[in-house]
Amino acid sequence: MEHTYLILEDGGCYIGTGVGAPAPYAKDIAKHTIDSAPCGEVVFNTTMGAYHEILTDPSYAGQMVVMTCPHIGNYGSEKGWDEMAQTVPPCRGLIVRDLYDGPVPPGRTGLPQTMDLWGMSGITEVDTRSLTIHIREHGACYGVLVRSSDIMGERESVTAWLRTCPPMATRDFIAEVGTLVTEVYDPKDPIGLRFALVDYGVKQSIVRALVERGVCVTVVPATTTALELLSLKPPVDAVFLSNGPGDPAVLQNAIQEIAKLVGRLPILGICLGHQLIGHAIGGRTSKHKFGHHGGNHPVRENGTGRVFVTAQNHGYCVEPDSLPPETEVWFVNANDGTLEGLYDESRKVMSVQFHPEAAPGPRDARYLFDRFIAFAKGESH
């Protein structure tokens, strides 16, 4: 009998039922490239819902998402929830225990039907608890979805194919998720501030959060140089570096351009933008074993001791001991102590690793957009 399987690079094999676009046959996998197969780094997300926002988050380019919540899809999908600017998500696949395929509220489509429209492959009826434990113990690795009626005879050829895939640390996904043209978003009630938002794969809710607060946002391509940013007309009050996928250390051109801006304009960042700021001021980043992905990650604000529950989606972190002495560690992760935010008044930089826009929630950290705006105005931390 034919089944759909998730095969991991380290030899792990999980049986299930295919959903969305059909996976390729295992015997034909050698005919595919990493980009033509449902293949990516397998990571788990601990959010209870918000699956539509997660799947459309550009930061998941090159990755497959395991939802640890066992029941997914019960309220359907709606295009208005898209976090991507593209029509098709860059996420490479969805892995769930139980995918709901029943009635949904009027005006919405079921998640399986939405995946069909996207051309995204997925797998359900998987033991996601076992898979999550495997990732926690062995770390994130490549996986691919395949169909087979004789997986025992074909499993080794699939894992051998996976080992030929280029390492995640060498891949640059920015070109496929960021804008290629400059776009301007004007607020209804402007407060007199204009931000240049460098798009490495920005979530649309970040743009909305700024515009709702009266900021005029000029979204520019990731290839925009420091000189071009400083020459924008009308001039901008701050540069905002967006979230995005992949290893920040790969983006050397971006790091060099950001370094040219340090101290000249306020620079703000979220997630990948935060990591790029870390590099630009002389720091370094390292890869997590399995990353932080989910809507229930606590962070502690140094100085006040306040703890916020946050949404996160990243596989890399800035190493605090690599930063200049003047740079303040603003937030730390309350679970593992990793750096979650930095602040340097002398260099005019402020950034956070987590996602204060709360899409998906929680909303504890939304106030940080007001802090960003105050910082851009020159108000002290």
- What gap in Å lies between CA 153 and CA 234, rounded to an integer? 63
Q: How many CB atoms lie within 10 A of CB 227?
A: 10
Cα–Cα distance for residue pair 311/296, rounded to 1 Å: 6
Q: Is 138 a catalytic residue?
A: no
Q: Are strands 285-301 and 328-333 parallel, antiparallel or unpaired?
A: antiparallel
Asked if 381 is an active-site residue, the reply is no
Specify whether 297 is catalytic: no
Among candidate residues 257, 271, 292, 317, the one labeled active-site is 271
Distances from the Cα of 244 to the Cα of 60, 114, 241, 312, 365, angstroms: 8, 23, 9, 12, 19
- In whole angstroms, how far apart are CA 188 and each of 204, 212, 242, 274, 359? 17, 8, 23, 28, 22
Among residues 263, 8, 2, the alpha carbon closest in space to that of 133 is found at 8
Give the HSE-up count for residue 90: Cα atoms under 13 Å, Cβ half-sphere.
Answer: 26
Q: Give the span between the Cα atoms of 9 and 145, in whole angstroms.
A: 12
Structure tokens at 122: 């997925």
Q: What is the DSSP letter of 219?
A: E
Q: How many CB atoms lie within 10 A of CB 147?
A: 18
d(CA 254, CA 111): 36
Q: Kindly list the catalytic residues.
A: 271, 355, 357
